[in-house]
Amino acid sequence: MRNLLLPFLLPAFAALVLLALMGAPAAVITAALVTLGGLVLVIIGNRDSVQRQLQALARKTRGRVEGLPAAPVSEEDRLDEVASLEGAIDSLHARLEARNAQLTQEARTLTAVLDGMIEGIWITDAEGTVVRHNDALREMLQPGNGGIAGQRPLALIRNEELNEAVRRACREGASSRLELTQEGLFPRTLAVRVTPLGKDLPGSAAVFHDITELRRLEKVRKDFVANVSHELRTPITAIRGYAETLQGGALTDPAVAPKMVEIIHRQSERLSELVEDLLELSRLESREVKLKIASVSLALAASRAAETVKPKAAGKDIHLELQVPPDLAAQGDERAVEQVLLNLLDNAVKYTPAGGRVELSGTREDGRCVVRVKDTGVGIEPRHLSRIFERFYRVDKGRSRDMGGTGLGLSIVKHLVGAMEGEVRVESQPNVGSTFVIFLPVASPEAASR
Ligand code: ADP
Protein backbone atom coordinates (compact mmCIF):
# COMPACT_ATOMS: atom_id res chain seq x y z
CA MET A 1 0.00 0.00 0.00
CA ARG A 2 2.90 2.22 0.76
CA ASN A 3 4.00 1.74 -2.86
CA LEU A 4 0.60 3.00 -4.01
CA LEU A 5 0.97 6.29 -2.08
CA LEU A 6 4.27 7.28 -3.68
CA PRO A 7 3.13 7.51 -7.33
CA PHE A 8 0.15 9.55 -6.16
CA LEU A 9 1.94 11.90 -3.70
CA LEU A 10 5.00 12.70 -5.87
CA PRO A 11 3.05 14.35 -8.77
CA ALA A 12 0.82 16.15 -6.18
CA PHE A 13 3.88 17.66 -4.45
CA ALA A 14 5.36 18.60 -7.82
CA ALA A 15 2.08 20.40 -8.68
CA LEU A 16 2.17 22.29 -5.33
CA VAL A 17 5.75 23.38 -5.86
CA LEU A 18 4.83 24.64 -9.35
CA LEU A 19 1.84 26.54 -7.91
CA ALA A 20 4.14 28.20 -5.31
CA LEU A 21 6.74 29.06 -7.96
CA MET A 22 4.05 30.53 -10.18
CA GLY A 23 3.13 32.76 -7.22
CA ALA A 24 -0.27 31.33 -6.55
CA PRO A 25 -2.07 32.90 -3.59
CA ALA A 26 -1.44 31.34 -0.18
CA ALA A 27 -5.16 30.55 0.15
CA VAL A 28 -5.06 28.45 -3.04
CA ILE A 29 -1.93 26.63 -1.85
CA THR A 30 -3.50 26.06 1.57
CA ALA A 31 -6.67 24.72 -0.06
CA ALA A 32 -4.62 22.39 -2.28
CA LEU A 33 -2.62 21.19 0.75
CA VAL A 34 -5.82 20.49 2.70
CA THR A 35 -7.30 18.58 -0.27
CA LEU A 36 -4.08 16.60 -0.66
CA GLY A 37 -3.99 15.82 3.07
CA GLY A 38 -7.63 14.66 2.87
CA LEU A 39 -6.81 12.40 -0.07
CA VAL A 40 -3.83 10.89 1.78
CA LEU A 41 -6.08 10.21 4.75
CA VAL A 42 -8.74 8.56 2.48
CA ILE A 43 -6.07 6.35 0.90
CA ILE A 44 -4.60 5.38 4.30
CA GLY A 45 -8.11 4.73 5.62
CA ASN A 46 -8.94 2.54 2.60
CA ARG A 47 -5.68 0.67 2.94
CA ASP A 48 -6.66 -0.48 6.42
CA SER A 49 -10.13 -1.36 5.25
CA VAL A 50 -8.77 -3.43 2.30
CA GLN A 51 -6.39 -5.17 4.69
CA ARG A 52 -9.23 -5.90 7.13
CA GLN A 53 -11.53 -7.20 4.44
CA LEU A 54 -8.84 -9.40 2.88
CA GLN A 55 -7.94 -10.81 6.31
CA ALA A 56 -11.61 -11.54 7.03
CA LEU A 57 -11.95 -13.19 3.63
CA ALA A 58 -8.82 -15.27 4.27
CA ARG A 59 -10.27 -16.30 7.69
CA LYS A 60 -13.58 -17.23 6.13
CA THR A 61 -11.92 -19.25 3.34
CA ARG A 62 -9.58 -21.02 5.78
CA GLY A 63 -12.51 -21.80 8.06
CA ARG A 64 -14.44 -23.39 5.18
CA VAL A 65 -11.45 -25.45 4.06
CA GLU A 66 -11.06 -26.70 7.63
CA GLY A 67 -14.79 -27.36 7.87
CA LEU A 68 -15.44 -24.67 10.52
CA PRO A 69 -18.47 -22.40 10.43
CA ALA A 70 -17.59 -19.49 8.10
CA ALA A 71 -17.39 -16.04 9.73
CA PRO A 72 -19.12 -13.57 7.41
CA VAL A 73 -17.05 -10.74 5.93
CA SER A 74 -18.36 -7.41 7.24
CA GLU A 75 -20.63 -5.61 4.77
CA GLU A 76 -19.49 -2.19 6.01
CA ASP A 77 -17.38 -0.31 3.46
CA ARG A 78 -16.97 -3.47 1.42
CA LEU A 79 -14.84 -2.83 -1.65
CA ASP A 80 -16.25 -4.13 -4.94
CA GLU A 81 -13.01 -5.94 -5.77
CA VAL A 82 -13.00 -7.74 -2.41
CA ALA A 83 -16.69 -8.59 -2.80
CA SER A 84 -16.09 -9.98 -6.27
CA LEU A 85 -13.08 -11.97 -5.01
CA GLU A 86 -15.27 -13.34 -2.24
CA GLY A 87 -17.96 -14.25 -4.78
CA ALA A 88 -15.40 -16.12 -6.90
CA ILE A 89 -14.09 -18.02 -3.86
CA ASP A 90 -17.69 -18.86 -2.78
CA SER A 91 -18.60 -20.28 -6.17
CA LEU A 92 -15.32 -22.24 -6.33
CA HIS A 93 -16.09 -23.63 -2.88
CA ALA A 94 -19.66 -24.57 -3.87
CA ARG A 95 -18.37 -26.43 -6.93
CA LEU A 96 -15.77 -28.24 -4.87
CA GLU A 97 -18.42 -29.25 -2.35
CA ALA A 98 -20.71 -30.58 -5.09
CA ARG A 99 -17.82 -32.56 -6.62
CA ASN A 100 -16.88 -33.88 -3.19
CA ALA A 101 -20.46 -35.02 -2.54
CA GLN A 102 -20.48 -36.76 -5.93
CA LEU A 103 -17.18 -38.51 -5.19
CA THR A 104 -18.40 -39.59 -1.74
CA GLN A 105 -21.57 -40.97 -3.33
CA GLU A 106 -19.55 -42.85 -5.96
CA ALA A 107 -17.22 -44.27 -3.30
CA ARG A 108 -20.23 -45.42 -1.23
CA THR A 109 -21.85 -47.04 -4.27
CA LEU A 110 -18.60 -48.82 -5.11
CA THR A 111 -18.25 -50.10 -1.53
CA ALA A 112 -21.88 -51.29 -1.55
CA VAL A 113 -21.37 -53.07 -4.88
CA LEU A 114 -18.11 -54.68 -3.73
CA ASP A 115 -19.57 -55.79 -0.40
CA GLY A 116 -22.69 -57.10 -2.10
CA MET A 117 -20.68 -59.44 -4.33
CA ILE A 118 -20.36 -63.16 -3.65
CA GLU A 119 -16.85 -63.13 -5.09
CA GLY A 120 -14.01 -61.92 -2.92
CA ILE A 121 -12.01 -59.00 -4.30
CA TRP A 122 -8.78 -57.34 -3.39
CA ILE A 123 -7.01 -54.40 -5.02
CA THR A 124 -3.27 -53.92 -4.63
CA ASP A 125 -1.01 -50.95 -5.19
CA ALA A 126 1.90 -51.08 -7.65
CA GLU A 127 4.02 -52.93 -5.07
CA GLY A 128 1.45 -55.67 -4.65
CA THR A 129 0.26 -54.59 -1.19
CA VAL A 130 -3.48 -54.97 -0.66
CA VAL A 131 -5.07 -51.54 -0.36
CA ARG A 132 -8.72 -52.44 -0.60
CA HIS A 133 -10.94 -55.54 -0.29
CA ASN A 134 -14.55 -56.51 0.17
CA ASP A 135 -16.55 -58.36 2.87
CA ALA A 136 -16.71 -61.61 0.86
CA LEU A 137 -12.92 -61.82 0.81
CA ARG A 138 -12.76 -61.37 4.59
CA GLU A 139 -15.26 -64.20 4.88
CA MET A 140 -13.16 -66.42 2.58
CA LEU A 141 -9.76 -65.72 4.06
CA GLN A 142 -10.77 -65.31 7.71
CA PRO A 143 -7.67 -63.24 8.44
CA GLY A 144 -6.33 -63.00 11.96
CA ASN A 145 -5.84 -59.78 13.88
CA GLY A 146 -3.61 -58.42 11.10
CA GLY A 147 -6.61 -57.91 8.79
CA ILE A 148 -6.28 -57.85 5.03
CA ALA A 149 -5.48 -54.25 4.04
CA GLY A 150 -1.77 -53.47 4.14
CA GLN A 151 -0.77 -57.14 3.71
CA ARG A 152 1.15 -58.78 0.90
CA PRO A 153 -0.49 -61.68 -0.99
CA LEU A 154 1.82 -64.32 0.50
CA ALA A 155 0.96 -63.23 4.03
CA LEU A 156 -2.74 -63.78 3.28
CA ILE A 157 -2.62 -66.93 1.14
CA ARG A 158 0.44 -69.12 1.19
CA ASN A 159 0.47 -69.73 -2.51
CA GLU A 160 3.49 -68.86 -4.63
CA GLU A 161 1.51 -69.07 -7.89
CA LEU A 162 -0.90 -66.36 -6.71
CA ASN A 163 1.96 -64.23 -5.45
CA GLU A 164 3.65 -64.50 -8.85
CA ALA A 165 0.38 -63.69 -10.67
CA VAL A 166 0.02 -60.46 -8.62
CA ARG A 167 3.62 -59.55 -9.29
CA ARG A 168 3.19 -60.08 -13.05
CA ALA A 169 -0.03 -58.06 -13.11
CA CYS A 170 1.65 -55.15 -11.30
CA ARG A 171 4.93 -55.17 -13.21
CA GLU A 172 4.11 -56.57 -16.64
CA GLY A 173 0.39 -55.82 -16.90
CA ALA A 174 -0.31 -59.54 -17.42
CA SER A 175 -3.64 -61.21 -16.48
CA SER A 176 -3.82 -64.75 -15.17
CA ARG A 177 -6.28 -67.34 -13.91
CA LEU A 178 -5.49 -69.96 -11.33
CA GLU A 179 -7.16 -72.38 -8.96
CA LEU A 180 -5.99 -72.86 -5.41
CA THR A 181 -7.02 -75.00 -2.51
CA GLN A 182 -6.99 -73.79 1.06
CA GLU A 183 -6.45 -76.37 3.74
CA GLY A 184 -7.62 -75.94 7.30
CA LEU A 185 -10.81 -76.30 9.27
CA PHE A 186 -12.98 -75.42 6.27
CA PRO A 187 -11.04 -76.48 3.16
CA ARG A 188 -11.95 -74.45 0.10
CA THR A 189 -11.22 -74.42 -3.60
CA LEU A 190 -10.89 -70.92 -5.02
CA ALA A 191 -10.75 -69.89 -8.68
CA VAL A 192 -8.80 -66.65 -8.91
CA ARG A 193 -8.47 -64.13 -11.73
CA VAL A 194 -5.70 -61.56 -11.38
CA THR A 195 -5.69 -58.52 -13.69
CA PRO A 196 -3.74 -55.26 -13.90
CA LEU A 197 -5.81 -52.21 -12.96
CA GLY A 198 -5.11 -50.40 -16.23
CA LYS A 199 -2.60 -48.18 -18.00
CA ASP A 200 -3.05 -45.07 -15.87
CA LEU A 201 -3.70 -46.94 -12.65
CA PRO A 202 -0.76 -48.78 -11.13
CA GLY A 203 -1.63 -51.94 -9.20
CA SER A 204 -3.72 -55.07 -9.69
CA ALA A 205 -7.11 -56.57 -8.85
CA ALA A 206 -7.81 -60.18 -7.91
CA VAL A 207 -11.28 -61.76 -7.94
CA PHE A 208 -11.76 -64.92 -5.84
CA HIS A 209 -14.59 -67.28 -6.74
CA ASP A 210 -15.41 -70.02 -4.22
CA ILE A 211 -15.89 -73.17 -6.31
CA THR A 212 -15.77 -75.67 -3.41
CA GLU A 213 -19.41 -76.70 -3.91
CA LEU A 214 -18.99 -76.92 -7.68
CA ARG A 215 -16.00 -79.22 -7.34
CA ARG A 216 -17.84 -81.31 -4.72
CA LEU A 217 -20.82 -81.72 -7.04
CA GLU A 218 -18.51 -82.65 -9.90
CA LYS A 219 -16.97 -85.33 -7.72
CA VAL A 220 -20.41 -86.59 -6.65
CA ARG A 221 -21.43 -86.80 -10.33
CA LYS A 222 -18.22 -88.61 -11.33
CA ASP A 223 -18.51 -91.02 -8.40
CA PHE A 224 -22.14 -91.62 -9.26
CA VAL A 225 -21.40 -92.44 -12.90
CA ALA A 226 -18.53 -94.71 -11.80
CA ASN A 227 -20.77 -96.44 -9.24
CA VAL A 228 -23.65 -96.93 -11.66
CA SER A 229 -21.33 -98.33 -14.32
CA HIS A 230 -19.81 -100.68 -11.77
CA GLU A 231 -23.19 -101.80 -10.42
CA LEU A 232 -24.54 -102.44 -13.91
CA ARG A 233 -21.41 -104.18 -15.07
CA THR A 234 -21.53 -106.83 -12.32
CA PRO A 235 -24.86 -108.46 -13.29
CA ILE A 236 -24.27 -107.89 -17.00
CA THR A 237 -20.91 -109.67 -16.81
CA ALA A 238 -22.52 -112.59 -14.98
CA ILE A 239 -25.38 -112.81 -17.47
CA ARG A 240 -23.06 -112.67 -20.46
CA GLY A 241 -20.63 -115.17 -18.93
CA TYR A 242 -23.29 -117.79 -18.17
CA ALA A 243 -25.06 -117.24 -21.50
CA GLU A 244 -21.79 -117.80 -23.35
CA THR A 245 -21.07 -120.94 -21.33
CA LEU A 246 -24.53 -122.23 -22.18
CA GLN A 247 -23.97 -121.42 -25.84
CA GLY A 248 -20.64 -123.20 -25.67
CA GLY A 249 -22.34 -126.51 -24.90
CA ALA A 250 -23.50 -126.36 -21.29
CA LEU A 251 -27.09 -125.93 -22.51
CA THR A 252 -27.27 -129.66 -23.18
CA ASP A 253 -25.74 -130.58 -19.84
CA PRO A 254 -28.66 -131.16 -17.45
CA ALA A 255 -26.32 -131.06 -14.45
CA VAL A 256 -25.37 -127.40 -14.92
CA ALA A 257 -27.81 -125.82 -17.38
CA PRO A 258 -30.74 -125.25 -14.96
CA LYS A 259 -28.41 -123.67 -12.36
CA MET A 260 -26.94 -121.33 -14.95
CA VAL A 261 -30.35 -120.29 -16.24
CA GLU A 262 -31.38 -119.68 -12.63
CA ILE A 263 -28.33 -117.41 -12.08
CA ILE A 264 -29.06 -115.54 -15.32
CA HIS A 265 -32.63 -115.00 -14.13
CA ARG A 266 -31.52 -113.76 -10.68
CA GLN A 267 -28.97 -111.40 -12.18
CA SER A 268 -31.47 -110.00 -14.65
CA GLU A 269 -33.85 -109.36 -11.75
CA ARG A 270 -31.07 -107.59 -9.92
CA LEU A 271 -30.38 -105.52 -12.99
CA SER A 272 -33.99 -104.53 -13.30
CA GLU A 273 -34.17 -103.65 -9.55
CA LEU A 274 -31.13 -101.48 -9.95
CA VAL A 275 -32.57 -99.69 -12.96
CA GLU A 276 -35.89 -99.21 -11.15
CA ASP A 277 -34.16 -97.77 -8.07
CA LEU A 278 -32.03 -95.50 -10.22
CA LEU A 279 -35.05 -94.21 -12.11
CA GLU A 280 -36.96 -93.68 -8.85
CA LEU A 281 -34.05 -91.76 -7.36
CA SER A 282 -33.56 -89.67 -10.45
CA ARG A 283 -37.31 -88.84 -10.56
CA LEU A 284 -37.18 -87.88 -6.87
CA GLU A 285 -34.09 -85.72 -7.31
CA SER A 286 -35.46 -83.92 -10.35
CA ARG A 287 -38.71 -83.42 -8.39
CA GLU A 288 -40.59 -85.09 -11.21
CA VAL A 289 -42.56 -87.18 -8.75
CA LYS A 290 -45.61 -85.33 -7.59
CA LEU A 291 -46.57 -86.65 -4.19
CA LYS A 292 -50.27 -86.80 -3.37
CA ILE A 293 -50.27 -85.53 0.18
CA ALA A 294 -53.22 -86.82 2.17
CA SER A 295 -54.02 -88.67 5.38
CA VAL A 296 -52.20 -92.02 5.38
CA SER A 297 -53.06 -94.82 7.80
CA LEU A 298 -49.71 -96.02 9.11
CA ALA A 299 -51.15 -99.36 10.26
CA LEU A 300 -52.36 -100.06 6.72
CA ALA A 301 -49.11 -98.93 5.07
CA ALA A 302 -47.08 -101.05 7.54
CA SER A 303 -49.14 -104.18 7.01
CA ARG A 304 -48.90 -103.85 3.20
CA ALA A 305 -45.12 -103.41 3.41
CA ALA A 306 -44.86 -106.34 5.81
CA GLU A 307 -46.80 -108.56 3.37
CA THR A 308 -44.02 -108.12 0.82
CA VAL A 309 -41.19 -109.04 3.20
CA LYS A 310 -43.01 -111.83 5.05
CA PRO A 311 -41.81 -114.65 2.75
CA LYS A 312 -38.21 -113.48 3.11
CA ALA A 313 -38.55 -113.19 6.92
CA ALA A 314 -40.17 -116.62 7.12
CA GLY A 315 -37.36 -118.05 4.99
CA LYS A 316 -34.86 -116.84 7.60
CA ASP A 317 -37.03 -117.72 10.55
CA ILE A 318 -37.22 -114.07 11.55
CA HIS A 319 -40.04 -113.03 13.85
CA LEU A 320 -41.80 -110.01 12.29
CA GLU A 321 -44.03 -107.95 14.55
CA LEU A 322 -46.15 -104.85 13.83
CA GLN A 323 -47.49 -102.55 16.54
CA VAL A 324 -49.24 -99.58 15.01
CA PRO A 325 -52.42 -98.06 16.49
CA PRO A 326 -55.17 -98.26 13.83
CA ASP A 327 -56.03 -94.57 14.18
CA LEU A 328 -52.48 -93.28 13.71
CA ALA A 329 -52.53 -91.26 10.50
CA ALA A 330 -49.67 -89.31 8.98
CA GLN A 331 -49.76 -86.48 6.49
CA GLY A 332 -48.02 -87.91 3.43
CA ASP A 333 -48.22 -89.80 0.17
CA GLU A 334 -49.63 -93.31 0.57
CA ARG A 335 -47.33 -94.94 -1.99
CA ALA A 336 -44.27 -93.11 -0.64
CA VAL A 337 -44.99 -94.07 3.00
CA GLU A 338 -45.42 -97.69 1.96
CA GLN A 339 -42.20 -97.61 -0.06
CA VAL A 340 -40.28 -96.13 2.90
CA LEU A 341 -41.55 -98.77 5.32
CA LEU A 342 -40.90 -101.53 2.77
CA ASN A 343 -37.28 -100.42 2.27
CA LEU A 344 -36.69 -100.28 6.03
CA LEU A 345 -38.35 -103.65 6.71
CA ASP A 346 -36.52 -105.22 3.77
CA ASN A 347 -33.17 -103.99 5.13
CA ALA A 348 -34.05 -105.11 8.67
CA VAL A 349 -34.80 -108.62 7.43
CA LYS A 350 -31.80 -108.56 5.08
CA TYR A 351 -29.27 -107.58 7.74
CA THR A 352 -30.68 -109.72 10.56
CA PRO A 353 -29.33 -113.25 10.92
CA ALA A 354 -31.67 -116.20 10.95
CA GLY A 355 -33.78 -116.53 14.09
CA GLY A 356 -33.74 -112.79 14.87
CA ARG A 357 -36.55 -110.27 15.43
CA VAL A 358 -37.86 -107.31 13.46
CA GLU A 359 -40.39 -104.98 15.07
CA LEU A 360 -42.26 -102.10 13.50
CA SER A 361 -44.00 -99.77 15.95
CA GLY A 362 -45.90 -96.55 15.48
CA THR A 363 -46.59 -93.79 18.01
CA ARG A 364 -47.37 -90.12 18.23
CA GLU A 365 -44.73 -88.06 19.98
CA ASP A 366 -44.51 -84.28 20.35
CA GLY A 367 -47.14 -83.70 17.68
CA ARG A 368 -45.46 -85.96 15.12
CA CYS A 369 -46.03 -89.51 13.89
CA VAL A 370 -43.05 -91.69 14.74
CA VAL A 371 -42.39 -95.11 13.19
CA ARG A 372 -39.57 -97.29 14.49
CA VAL A 373 -38.20 -100.27 12.60
CA LYS A 374 -36.06 -102.20 15.03
CA ASP A 375 -34.02 -105.32 14.32
CA THR A 376 -31.65 -107.62 16.14
CA GLY A 377 -29.28 -107.68 13.18
CA VAL A 378 -25.62 -107.08 12.44
CA GLY A 379 -25.82 -103.39 13.37
CA ILE A 380 -23.77 -100.54 11.94
CA GLU A 381 -20.53 -99.11 13.30
CA PRO A 382 -20.82 -95.43 14.35
CA ARG A 383 -18.36 -94.23 11.68
CA HIS A 384 -20.72 -95.40 8.90
CA LEU A 385 -23.91 -93.97 10.37
CA SER A 386 -23.68 -90.53 8.78
CA ARG A 387 -23.05 -92.00 5.33
CA ILE A 388 -25.49 -94.86 4.90
CA PHE A 389 -28.11 -92.54 3.36
CA GLU A 390 -25.74 -91.64 0.52
CA ARG A 391 -26.30 -93.24 -2.87
CA PHE A 392 -24.44 -96.55 -3.21
CA TYR A 393 -22.89 -96.31 0.25
CA ARG A 394 -22.69 -99.73 1.84
CA VAL A 395 -21.03 -100.78 5.05
CA ASP A 396 -20.08 -104.11 3.55
CA LYS A 397 -20.23 -104.10 -0.25
CA GLY A 398 -19.90 -107.86 -0.64
CA ARG A 399 -22.59 -108.67 1.90
CA SER A 400 -25.01 -106.10 0.50
CA ARG A 401 -24.62 -107.41 -3.05
CA ASP A 402 -24.90 -111.00 -1.94
CA MET A 403 -28.17 -110.10 -0.36
CA GLY A 404 -29.42 -108.40 -3.50
CA GLY A 405 -28.95 -104.84 -2.26
CA THR A 406 -28.57 -101.97 -4.70
CA GLY A 407 -27.12 -99.48 -2.20
CA LEU A 408 -29.94 -97.07 -3.08
CA GLY A 409 -32.69 -98.12 -0.65
CA LEU A 410 -31.88 -95.70 2.19
CA SER A 411 -31.15 -92.90 -0.24
CA ILE A 412 -34.68 -93.30 -1.61
CA VAL A 413 -36.04 -93.39 1.96
CA LYS A 414 -34.31 -90.12 2.79
CA HIS A 415 -35.63 -88.39 -0.31
CA LEU A 416 -39.19 -89.60 0.12
CA VAL A 417 -39.33 -88.70 3.82
CA GLY A 418 -37.83 -85.29 3.07
CA ALA A 419 -40.40 -84.67 0.32
CA MET A 420 -43.13 -85.32 2.92
CA GLU A 421 -41.50 -82.83 5.30
CA GLY A 422 -40.41 -85.62 7.58
CA GLU A 423 -37.13 -86.86 8.90
CA VAL A 424 -35.26 -90.17 9.19
CA ARG A 425 -32.74 -91.10 11.89
CA VAL A 426 -30.82 -94.20 12.80
CA GLU A 427 -29.49 -95.65 16.03
CA SER A 428 -27.37 -98.76 15.87
CA GLN A 429 -24.98 -100.96 17.76
CA PRO A 430 -22.79 -103.47 15.96
CA ASN A 431 -23.84 -107.08 16.62
CA VAL A 432 -26.83 -105.92 18.66
CA GLY A 433 -29.13 -104.35 16.12
CA SER A 434 -30.39 -101.18 14.46
CA THR A 435 -33.40 -98.95 14.81
CA PHE A 436 -34.46 -96.69 11.96
CA VAL A 437 -36.85 -93.93 13.06
CA ILE A 438 -39.17 -92.05 10.72
CA PHE A 439 -40.85 -88.79 11.76
CA LEU A 440 -43.82 -87.60 9.71
CA PRO A 441 -46.34 -84.80 10.20
CA VAL A 442 -49.64 -85.84 11.74
CA ALA A 443 -52.55 -85.91 9.25
CA SER A 444 -54.29 -82.55 8.86
CA PRO A 445 -57.64 -83.11 10.66
CA GLU A 446 -55.79 -84.37 13.70
CA ALA A 447 -53.25 -81.60 13.42
CA ALA A 448 -56.08 -79.07 13.46
CA SER A 449 -57.57 -80.57 16.62
CA ARG A 450 -54.19 -80.52 18.41
P1 ADP B 1 -28.53 -101.81 0.32
O2 ADP B 1 -29.24 -102.04 -0.95
O3 ADP B 1 -27.08 -102.12 0.24
O4 ADP B 1 -29.20 -102.42 1.48
P5 ADP B 1 -29.33 -99.32 1.48
O6 ADP B 1 -29.23 -97.95 0.96
O7 ADP B 1 -30.68 -99.83 1.78
O8 ADP B 1 -28.55 -100.22 0.48
O9 ADP B 1 -28.46 -99.38 2.81
C10 ADP B 1 -27.16 -98.88 2.80
C11 ADP B 1 -26.25 -99.67 3.73
O12 ADP B 1 -26.67 -99.44 5.08
C13 ADP B 1 -26.37 -101.15 3.55
O14 ADP B 1 -25.49 -101.59 2.56
C15 ADP B 1 -26.01 -101.68 4.93
O16 ADP B 1 -24.60 -101.73 5.03
C17 ADP B 1 -26.50 -100.59 5.84
N18 ADP B 1 -27.80 -100.95 6.46
C19 ADP B 1 -29.02 -100.53 6.07
N20 ADP B 1 -29.99 -101.02 6.87
C21 ADP B 1 -29.36 -101.78 7.79
C22 ADP B 1 -29.80 -102.56 8.91
N23 ADP B 1 -31.09 -102.66 9.25
N24 ADP B 1 -28.87 -103.20 9.64
C25 ADP B 1 -27.56 -103.10 9.32
N26 ADP B 1 -27.09 -102.39 8.29
C27 ADP B 1 -27.97 -101.74 7.53
The answer to whether residue 71 is domain-embedded is: yes
Pair 440, 330: CB distance under 8 Å: yes
pLDDT at 56: 79
Closest Cα to atom 16, ligand 1: which residue?
Answer: 395
| Last residue in a domain, options 285, 312, 331 | 285
CATH code of the domain covering residue 387: 3.30.565.10
Indicate the top mutation candidate among 284, 359, 394 to test ligand 1's pocket, ranked by most ligand atoms within 8 A of CB: 394
Helix/strand number for the chain, H first, E second: 14, 12
The three-class DSSP label of residue 128 is: coil
Same domain, 172 and 68: no
Same domain, 415 and 298: yes
Tell me the C-alpha distance between 116 and 12, whole Å.
77
Tell me the Cα Rg of the chain.
46
CA geometry: angle 76, 78, 82, nearest 5 deg: 150
Atom of ligand 1 nearest to the CA of 405: 2
* Mean pLDDT estimate for the chain: 87
250-282 as b/e, with b when 16 or more CB fall inside 10 Å?
beeeeeebeebeeebeebeebbebbeebbebbe
Atom of ligand 1 nearest to the CA of 433: 24
Sign of CA pseudo-dihedral 289, 292, 295, 298: negative
| Last residue in a domain, options 285, 307, 323 | 285
Residue 205 CB neighbour total at 10 angstroms: 19
User: DSSP letter at 186?
Assistant: S
Same domain, 444 and 298: yes
Same domain, 246 and 173: no
Tell me what the mean pLDDT of segment 359-382 comes to: 96
Residue 447 clears pLDDT 50, i.e. is over it: no
User: DSSP letter at 159?
Assistant: -
The answer to whether residue 352 is domain-embedded is: yes
The answer to whether residue 106 is domain-embedded is: no
At position 136, the amino acid (one-letter code) is A
**Residues lining ligand 1, Cβ inside 6 A:** 347-348, 351, 375, 377-380, 388, 393-396, 400, 405-411, 434
Indicate the top mutation candidate among 270, 351, 357 to test ligand 1's pocket, ranked by most ligand atoms within 8 A of CB: 351
State in Å: Cα 351 to ligand 1 middle: 7
Same domain, 348 and 324: yes
Residue 321 clears pLDDT 90, i.e. is over it: yes
Atom of ligand 1 nearest to the CA of 411: 6
State in Å: Cα 127 to ligand 1 middle: 59
Evaluate if pTM is beyond 0.85: no
Atom of ligand 1 nearest to the CA of 379: 25
The answer to whether residue 109 is domain-embedded is: no
Closest Cα to atom 4, ligand 1: which residue?
Answer: 405
pLDDT at 57: 78
Same domain, 239 and 125: no
Pair 299, 325: CB distance under 8 Å: yes
**Domain containing residue 230:** 216-285
Same domain, 75 and 177: no
Closest Cα to atom 13, ligand 1: which residue?
Answer: 394
Same domain, 67 and 131: no
Residue range 26-80, pLDDT digits in tens: 767 677 777 777 777 767 767 777 777 778 778 877 777 777 766 665 666 567 7
State in Å: Cα 376 to ligand 1 middle: 14
Atom of ligand 1 nearest to the CA of 394: 14
State in Å: Cα 205 to ligand 1 middle: 51
Pair 154, 202: CB distance under 8 Å: no
pLDDT at 2: 47
Instruction: Show Cβ contacts of residue 108 under 8 Å, excluding neighbours closer than 6 positions.
Output: none
The answer to whether residue 108 is domain-embedded is: no
| Last residue in a domain, options 68, 99, 130 | 99
Q: What percent of the chain has pLDDT over 70?
A: 89
Task: Count how many Cα atoms sit within 13 Å of the Cα of residue 372 in the half-sphere of its side chain.
Answer: 13
The answer to whether residue 324 is domain-embedded is: yes
Tell me the C-alpha distance between 436 and 184, whole Å.
34
Count: domains in the chain: 4
pLDDT at 392: 87
Same domain, 324 and 443: yes
User: DSSP letter at 118?
Assistant: S
What's the maximum distance between 2 C-alpha atoms anywhere in the chain?
167
State in Å: Cα 213 to ligand 1 middle: 27
Atom of ligand 1 nearest to the CA of 373: 23
Tell me the C-alpha distance between 229 and 282, whole Å.
15
Atom of ligand 1 nearest to the CA of 391: 6
The gap between the terminal CA atoms of the chain, to the nearest Å, is 99
Question: Regarding beta strands 319-323 and 188-196, do their DSSP bridges make them parallel or antiparallel, or are they unpaired?
Answer: unpaired
Same domain, 158 and 48: no
